[in-house]
Structure 1
């Protein structure tokens, strides 16, 4: 069958639905899985695209493509909580190996296309990747801000950690997203979701 590799790949990536994240759904009832996160950031990118800095240099379709595949590496590498300093050690190498394995299931040119999109996202050096990374970082922040913030309070996440890991990534992509980040962070500190 001509598309057998593509079918094998889409069945293999179904496993993303089984990768649980630290974040909780908006109703605080359970942790989200990575497939749900990927779906939500693809929608968020479309909604916040009008606020992208240098919008004329941001290709929304490329951003959506990056966001749709960048977390597939978690099938093998698992989800690493952004504020887990020990877990973050070696994260890129673990995910790179996973990317090579997972995208390696595809034929060329799609194999290289997906791998290169993943790598571009990780390097955060193009306008598309900068915007995509900001979307990926702000979504869990919004969820924690609009819920009880359990994933932060359970891990004892501090204001300094949030600023170090999120602020620059978000503000360099969008002034409006940066403003929303700062306002929500102040609210989170005031409400005790984040340790000052």
Structure 2
């Protein structure tokens, strides 16, 4: 059958629905899974695209493609909590191996196309990747700052960690997103969701 590899791939990526993240849904009722996160950031990218710096250099379709596939590596590598310093060690190597495995199900040229999009996202050097990474990082931040911040409080996340891991990535992508980050960060600090 002509579409055999594509069907195998789409069945394999169904496993993303089973990858639990540290972040909670907006109603604080349960942790989200990575498939839900991926869907939400694809929507968010479309909403925030008008605020991208150098918008004329950002290809929204490429951003959406990056966001839709960049977390597929979590099927094999798991979700690494951004603020888990120990867990972050070796993350890229684990995920690179996972990317080769999951995208390896596909034939060329799609195999290389997806893998190269994933690498571009990870390297954060193109306008598309910079914007995509900002979207990926701001969504959990928005959820935490507008709820009880459970994933932060459970892990004793500090304000400095938020600034180190998120601030530059968000602000270099969009002035307006940077302004929203500052406001929501202060709101989270005032609410006691972050350690000093």
* TM-score (normalizing by structure 2): 1.00
For residues 62-90 of structure 1, the C-alpha deviation after alignment (integer angstroms, 9 at most, x for no partner) is 00000000000000000000000000000
Partner SS, residue 121 of structure 2? helix
- Residue of structure 2 equivalent to 1:123: 123
The 1-side partners of 2:73 and 2:189 are apart by 33
1:100-115 pair list within 5 angstroms: 100-115=100-115
- Residue of structure 1 equivalent to 2:63: 63
- Residue of structure 2 equivalent to 1:5: 5
How far off its partner does 1:20 sit? 0.1
Partner SS, residue 71 of structure 1? coil
- Residue of structure 2 equivalent to 1:152: 152
Q: Structure 2 regions of 5+ residues with no counterpart?
A: none
How far off its partner does 1:9 sit? 0.3
- Tell me the number of residue pairs that the alignment of Structure 1 and Structure 2 aligns: 196
The 2-side partners of 1:64 and 1:187 are apart by 29
1:25-174 pair list within 5 angstroms: 25-174=25-174
The CA RMSD over aligned residues, in Å, is 0.3
- Residue of structure 2 equivalent to 1:194: 194
For residues 15-37 of structure 1, the C-alpha deviation after alignment (integer angstroms, 9 at most, x for no partner) is 00000000000000000000000
Partner SS, residue 107 of structure 1? coil
Runs of 4+ in 1 over 6 A off after TM superposition: none
Q: Structure 1 regions of 5+ residues with no counterpart?
A: none
For residues 144-173 of structure 1, the C-alpha deviation after alignment (integer angstroms, 9 at most, x for no partner) is 011100000000000000000000000000
For residues 95-125 of structure 1, the C-alpha deviation after alignment (integer angstroms, 9 at most, x for no partner) is 0000000000000000000000000000000
The 1-side partners of 2:73 and 2:122 are apart by 12
- Residue of structure 1 equivalent to 2:20: 20
Partner SS, residue 32 of structure 2? strand
How far off its partner does 1:195 sit? 1.1
